[in-house]
Amino acid sequence: MMRWLTNVFRLGLKELSSLRADPVLIVLIVYIFSFAVYSVATGAKLEVLNASVAYVDQDRSALSGRILSAILPPEFNPPEEISASDVQKVMDRGDYVFVLTIPPHFEADVLAGYQPEILMDVDATAMVQAGNGSVFLQEIIAAEVTKFVSGNDTDSVLPINLVVRTLFNPNRNTVWFSSVMQIINNITILSVLLTGAALIREREHGTIEHLLVMPVTPSEIMVAKIWANGLAIIVAAILSIWLVVQTLLGVPVAGSIPLFVLGAVLYLVSVTGLGILLATFTTSMPQFGLLALPVLVVMNLLSGSTTPMESMPVWLQNVMQISPSTHFVAFSQAILYRGAGLSIVWPNMVIMVTLSAVFFVIALKRFRLTMATAH
């Protein structure tokens, strides 16, 4: 056993040395845990921000002017007037997300007790802004009409007092969500790519033959690749949380970083094993990239990091339970967002350990077969 551990340690040092000598991979690690996290967190907004609005005012009354003047930044850009004949044209070109058409005699019909209609054209290709922005505009229009009819500029008194408590992200700031999720997703991506690239690199440089004639076993080689590349990923992830998320973006981390790191280590065994497994089916980096790409896309998009698991079909939810990324995302969100402790996340950790063991055994069996064939 002591000899096995010694071989694993020394082979792991060799992996770290190889990684240090590969500037492309070093740049990739630094980029994906720094600029990629910052740029996505600050650039990809889920809330309504600077949505473009145009209007056709066929009434030109005090009420229509009041409605248009209530559409304000930062949610919306100042509304721009267009002609009725240009509505379809600007929507086809994607110039505006929203176009409001206020009909003639709108104010008079409202005061007469009729129910006139305001037409709202929405460009739903801007899906998030279209959905949330439509609700905001409806609320603005309804509030301004109510105040105008009542002659009272204060909010009308409702028969109930609705109190909303937004937990874990009080300002509903997208940066708080997307920055942390980028780190979680990048751990998955790099774990697969680095370990797979390490095995492919052995083949392309001809060092796999050297390993075959050395007194080392496939399990020692595989475990060495897992701990060495996993160590690099974990260190990069911790630095990213500290320097980029907490310091640069000012995002608070609610839970225990050591507990998150422990779960990430358990998770790394499965995804690094997956990277080695995929690499055994390929003979070059281009082949490995083409094979890994669809796997990573499915793991990230359907893990619950982009959309809640509850919004997926039941059969797909059941299928994704075999993916370790699903449980790692739930584990990480519970700790980093909601401050959950071990008493809450231990079921996810047990599942990750089980899946890690399964993936490791499958990858090791395939790796041994590949080594025997090469020999």
Q: What is the pLDDT of residues 31-61, one digit of tens each?
A: 999 999 999 888 877 788 889 999 999 999 9
Contact between 149 and 107 under an 8 Å Cβ cutoff? The reply is no
CA atoms of 116 and 104, how far apart (whole Å): 10
Domains of the chain, earliest start first: 2-44+173-374 (no CATH), 53-150 (3.40.1710.10)
How many whole angstroms from its chain centre is CA 280? 29
- 122 membership: H or E segment, kind and range: strand 119-122
pLDDT in tens, 291-344: 999 999 999 889 988 888 888 899 999 999 999 999 999 999 999 999 999 999
Based on DSSP, count helices (H) and strands (E) in the chain, helices before strands: 15, 4
Burial class (CB in 10 A: 0-12, 13-18, 19+), 77: middle
pLDDT at 333: 92
CA atoms of 221 and 125, how far apart (whole Å): 49
pLDDT at 172: 79
DSSP tag of 119: E
Q: Tell me if the bond preceding 74 is cis, omega within 30° of 0.
A: yes
- Residue that the structure tokens 């970083």 belong to: 257
pLDDT at 87: 93
318, 321, 326, 328: CA torsion to nearest 10: 150
CB neighbour list of residue 46: distance below 8 Å, 6 or more residues apart: 128, 174, 177, 178
- State pTM to two decimals: 0.83
CA atoms of 213 and 375, how far apart (whole Å): 9
CB neighbour list of residue 280: distance below 8 Å, 6 or more residues apart: 199, 363, 366, 367, 369, 370
Mean pLDDT by 10 residues, the chain (375 residues): 86 87 89 93 82 94 94 92 93 93 94 92 85 91 89 66 82 87 94 88 72 76 90 95 94 92 93 90 87 91 86 90 93 93 94 92 86 62
pLDDT at 96: 94
CA atoms of 226 and 190, how far apart (whole Å): 12
